[in-house]
Structure 1
Amino acid sequence: MSTRWYPIYQRGGPQLRIFLPNFWMKLVKPTHQQPPNVVQFACSMEMSSTDIKNYLEKIYQIKTVHISTRIASGKTRRDPGKGYIVKDDDTKYAYVTLHKSEKFEFPVLYPEKEKDVNEQKTMEEMQAGYKEYLEKNKERKNMPGWFTI
């Protein structure tokens, strides 16, 4: 199913048409602990579990054992500017179970870097300076911080 419009006739050439569905899938990091062979995707609402299976097998050559889907309702909130009640779009999640022998780990995109000694020393100096500032101004309760002698 596609919303793209293709011309029926092209002048002077053969009718070359390619069917491009409006399907998309996005890998999502799960919020709860899952087995290592289960992968979570956010996908377009029009996709059925058969479409998801074909999508993964034909494009990425991933063999799937089982696919279950759920639709998460979007949040209902009040618009901060006008005060209207607004509902966010619903999202469809697909849980793809791979074979027992296959394991999937979500990639670490931003690894933790080691803390520098200079950063820690600077942080300690800043904390000591702030404590000194609080001690100096504890008698002046309602005075602004910029109003000092």
Structure 2
Amino acid sequence: MKLVKPDAPQPPNVVQFIVSMQMSKYDIENYLEKIYNVQVENVVTHVRMGKCERSFKGYITKKDDYKVAFVTLPRTEKFEFPTLFPESKQEKENEELKQLDVLQDEWNSNTRRHKHRHGVPTWFGV
């Protein structure tokens, strides 16, 4: 079983998993209750078709089909998908993007100053 972040917004007590094609609803419910001690209200499963892709040689390949299980927990329990990238990392990435913009502005100003010498490095001054 693999916990998956849902594509569409779900109620707080619904969790989405990708499970083996051989697992039934009862297997999923028993697995979560016996191993993880999680109370399960309802299980809904869907079989999704794998994507078809065309390779560079013209062959068409199809990914394997997979089963998605939507597990409904009791109303008192809420599940939040864990945040993998905390705010501090987001702020750090924003600072790096700002630095990248400053460097790109400097590069553009240098290339505008030497616009008649395309391909010549800036350290090669006359």
Aligned AA (1:46):
Q
Q: RMSD value over aligned CA atoms? A: 2.7
**1: CA distance, partners of 2:6 / 2:120:** 45
Q: Which stretches in structure 2 are left out of the alignment for 5+ residues?
A: none
In structure 2, the CA distance between the partners of 1:72 and 1:139, relative to structure 1 (3 Å rule), is farther
Moved over 6 A (4+): none
Bigger relative contact order, structure 1 or 2 (CA pairs below 8 A, ≥6 apart): 2
TM-score, structure 2 length as denominator? 0.80
Q: Which stretches in structure 1 are left out of the alignment for 5+ residues?
A: 1-24
Q: May I ask how many residue pairs the two structures share in their alignment? A: 121
Out of 37, 61, 74, the position equivalent to 1:99 is: 74
**1: CA distance, partners of 2:98 / 2:58:** 48
Q: CA deviation at 1:32?
A: 1.2
Q: Paired residue for 2:84?
A: 109
What whole-Å deviation, never above 9, does each CA across 1:61-83 have from its counterpart, x for those lacking one? 11111110111111111122x43
Query: Is the counterpart of residue 136 in structure 1 residue 113 in structure 2?
Result: yes
What whole-Å deviation, never above 9, does each CA across 1:23-59 have from its counterpart, x for those lacking one? xx01111121110000000000011111111111111
Q: Paired residue for 2:6?
A: 30
In structure 2, the CA distance between the partners of 1:127 and 1:33, relative to structure 1 (3 Å rule), is same
In structure 2, the CA distance between the partners of 1:35 and 1:124, relative to structure 1 (3 Å rule), is same
Q: Which has the higher helix share?
A: 2
Aligned AA (2:16):
Q
In structure 2, the CA distance between the partners of 1:144 and 1:96, relative to structure 1 (3 Å rule), is same
TM-score, structure 1 length as denominator? 0.69
**2: CA distance, partners of 1:76 / 1:121:** 39
Q: Paired residue for 1:89?
A: 64
Partner-residue secondary structure (3-state), 1:69: strand
Query: Is the counterpart of residue 59 in structure 1 residue 28 in structure 2?
Result: no
